Structure 1
Amino acid sequence: MLAMLLAALLSFSAWGDEKRAAAPEFSSSDTEGIFFDSVGDALRGERPSLAKLRAKQQPAAVAAASGDSDSPEQSAGGTWDKLITATSLEDEVKRVKLHYDTVVTQPGPFKSGGYQDARLDLMVLSSMFAIISEYGGDVRWKEDAAAARDLLARTAFNCNAGTTQVFNEAQARRNDLQDLVSGTGLRDRKADGTNDWASIADRGPLMEYADQLRESLRQSTASAEDVEAEPGDVRRPAELLAVLGKILVQDGMDESDDQDYVAFSEAMTKAASGVTRGLELKDYDAVRAAVGEVTQSCDACHEQYR
């Protein structure tokens, strides 16, 4: 034990005598231009603060929460959501589907002119499903919407004659619509990802549809009592006219690059949305005034375009 203690003491003594290199010495001139004298000297302009950072972040957070964006990549769904409710979309699909069922019952009436009614119904329905496919909110048939859009549009464009082949195809679409409405869904859901409006609908039938909606709106707003009794009969055609104004100026539609035509369509959309606002405010005078503006915009457009 004593030997071990002596060995440890000798080792400690040797470690203490070990020579080390002297610490380097620098003068201020040696590091001049390499390091800043203080952190503050490294900052250019006004020194940042937490308060100012929060002030900048707050508007961005508000914009993100509200969904407002001027980006050209903003989804079309945002537009449809602002113009029409899911209820109006669903009700119109069911309403037009019921009428379509009566059009494709027998080959004779279909050949005698029923194919034209079928063409209109199918173009309206394909347009509704095109909107549903891009709708941001919850709405029925969204999973099948793109496929339904393509099926119905293809048959609509084929309905330029009442041949047996076209009648059979139109009946097949009636069965597809029944599957959709009943909740079964479509067997084939293959579809293009985006809406190609040039292959969805023609302007002529949609303008005819606009006239039908305008007449329905006129009748449902004949008196304040009518508006109060059946507000849904006012809201549905008003919202449909609003989206129709947007559809008519989509890329691929006739005259969509004509500034005058675009102005007429936008005026109809604005006036139709005014009907909805008046309805929500329970302001019958505002409703009637907006209905008048819808009529004026449609009449002015019909004078130049058809």
Structure 2
Amino acid sequence: MAAMPRLLTTTGLLFSLAVVTSGCTGGSQPSASTPAPTGAEAPPAEDAQPAATAAAPAKPRERNEVWTDEKGQKWFGNVPMDAFFDQPYEVASNATAIGGPNGAAPAAAMGEQTTAQQPAEAVAATTPATEPATPAQPSPDTPAPAAAAGGDSWDQLLPLADLDEEIKSIRNFLQETVSSVGNYNSSMMMIPPKVATLAALAEVARQRQESVSWKEDAAWVRDLAKKMNESPLQRGPKDQKRLQELFEGVSDIFNRSKPAGLEEPPAEDSFAESAELRSLMKRMEEAEKTLKTEIGSADALASKKTMAQHEAAILAVLAKIATDKGYGYDDDEFRGYGNAVVEAAQAIRTSTEGGDFSGFEAAMSKVATSCQNCHSKYKND
């Protein structure tokens, strides 16, 4: 008797499931106001029966009758028994979400398209536009990049015509001076500044972008001039003969007939190794003195324009050479004085070209002030 309630409960559960299943697959018609599904979603015709139902025998069965057909298929009324769970209570008590432990159903199971499956137009329409990145602002403590210095290349400081003119002047001077012992003795003190300038300008010619006819031999000119000043000059024929031989080699190079057997010069030789700074300063002083004494009026500036521009160019290029760190004055203050002279010399050329005598005087004053301040601090170093 104790098994009777369990049997009744099981029978009742099976009956309820059969009713629900019959309601899902039965012949109830959709309302006339409900739009008829189309395509693949259209329901089977009213008189269509499930395949399993079609396989049932024609003999009518009771709704809650359990029976077996000739193929061994068990039925509960008109519903096959394999439509029911083996353990209905366990299935009913399982509360696990269909989509997994997090309760999120996969997009494909929900009939949604992933981004990869969506058309490009749909993705573009739903994807927010990327905001342009804000350019990084420089820190207030970061200095702005220094602008490249302009107008102070060798070609700009010393035009080719002025380079040729200075070389010609030095050659003429040396040709006359070393030709005899008497001439040498009388002009001996003037030789070192001329020779140092020759060595420095030979290196400038080697570094220039605009070529000179003797550029490929400029290192030999620089080296021969360096040797002419390698020791203090002494009066008499010994140094006169030595300088004469060296100068003949320089002249042959300028005449495009380099002597055979010349010692190979160093591939790289700094200005400081080729020309003594003190001797270059004497040539700078000469240029300043010439400009000051020869150009005393607007008329003189106009009539001696070429000479003024030449001396200003020599002043500018030698002032720049003087700032070479090889001379041992590798500090900002010294370079500041040198750069001030370079700028003033360029201003002299500009004012001379435009006939601006007031500008010429202002530039000359800047040269004098810069040189005086520099000498007061560095002359005895």
The TM-score normalised by the length of structure 1 is 0.70
Q: Does 1:248 align with 2:307?
A: no
Report the CA distance shift for 1:129/1:186 in structure 2 as closer, same or farther (over 3 A): farther
Q: Does 1:174 align with 2:247?
A: yes
1:235 is aligned to 309
CA distance in 2, matches of 1:301, 1:239: 20
CA distance in 1, matches of 2:272, 2:287: 22
Give the secondary structure class of the aligned counterpart of 1:192. Answer: coil
2:207 is aligned to 134
CA distance in 2, matches of 1:150, 1:293: 34
Query: 2:275 pairs with 201, 205, 208, which one?
Result: 201
Report the CA distance shift for 1:175/1:289 in structure 2 as closer, same or farther (over 3 A): same
Higher helix share: 1
Q: Does 1:268 align with 2:348?
A: no
Letter in 2 for 1:285: S
Give the secondary structure class of the aligned counterpart of 2:333. Answer: helix
CA distance in 1, matches of 2:132, 2:228: 66
CA distance in 1, matches of 2:119, 2:220: 69
CA distance in 2, matches of 1:37, 1:200: 77
2:369 is aligned to 296
CA distance in 2, matches of 1:193, 1:133: 11
Report the CA distance shift for 1:223/1:70 in structure 2 as closer, same or farther (over 3 A): closer
Q: Does the 8 Å contact 1:224/1:284 carry over to 2? A: yes
| Superimposed CA distance per residue, residues 267-295 of structure 1 (whole angstroms, 9 cap, x where no aligned partner) | 11111111011123332221222122112
1:216 is aligned to 290
CA distance in 1, matches of 2:353, 2:191: 34
CA distance in 1, matches of 2:233, 2:251: 23
CA distance in 2, matches of 1:269, 1:226: 23
Question: What does residue range 75-114 of structure 1 map to in structure 2 within 5 Å?
Answer: 79-107=153-181, 110=184, 112=185, 114=187
Q: Does the 8 Å contact 1:104/1:118 carry over to 2? A: no
The runs of 5 or more residues in structure 1 that have no matched partner are 1-27, 48-68, 72-76
1:281 is aligned to 354
Report the CA distance shift for 1:99/1:109 in structure 2 as closer, same or farther (over 3 A): closer
CA distance in 1, matches of 2:360, 2:351: 5
CA distance in 2, matches of 1:177, 1:184: 10
Report the CA distance shift for 1:267/1:151 in structure 2 as closer, same or farther (over 3 A): same
Bigger CA radius of gyration: 2
Give the secondary structure class of the aligned counterpart of 2:336. Answer: helix
Letter in 2 for 1:249: T
The runs of 5 or more residues in structure 2 that have no matched partner are 1-107, 109-113, 134-146
Task: State the Cα distance separating 1:115 from its structure 2 match.
Answer: 4.0
Give the secondary structure class of the aligned counterpart of 1:235. Answer: helix
Which deviates more, 240-249 or 184-193? 184-193
1:74 is aligned to none
| Superimposed CA distance per residue, residues 19-58 of structure 1 (whole angstroms, 9 cap, x where no aligned partner) | xxxxxxxxx9xxx9999986x99xx9869xxxxxxxxxxx
CA distance in 2, matches of 1:287, 1:99: 29
CA distance in 2, matches of 1:78, 1:239: 11
Give the secondary structure class of the aligned counterpart of 2:230. Answer: helix
2:229 is aligned to 156
Identity, in percent, stands at: 21
| Superimposed CA distance per residue, residues 210-246 of structure 1 (whole angstroms, 9 cap, x where no aligned partner) | 1111111113322222221231101111011111111
Question: What does residue range 3-14 of structure 1 map to in structure 2 within 5 Å?
Answer: none
Task: State the Cα distance separating 1:120 from its structure 2 match.
Answer: 2.1
Q: Does the 8 Å contact 1:144/1:189 carry over to 2? A: no
CA distance in 1, matches of 2:157, 2:354: 17
Task: State the Cα distance separating 1:131 from its structure 2 match.
Answer: 0.7
Q: Which has the higher contact order (CA 8 A, sep 6+)?
A: 1
2:51 is aligned to none
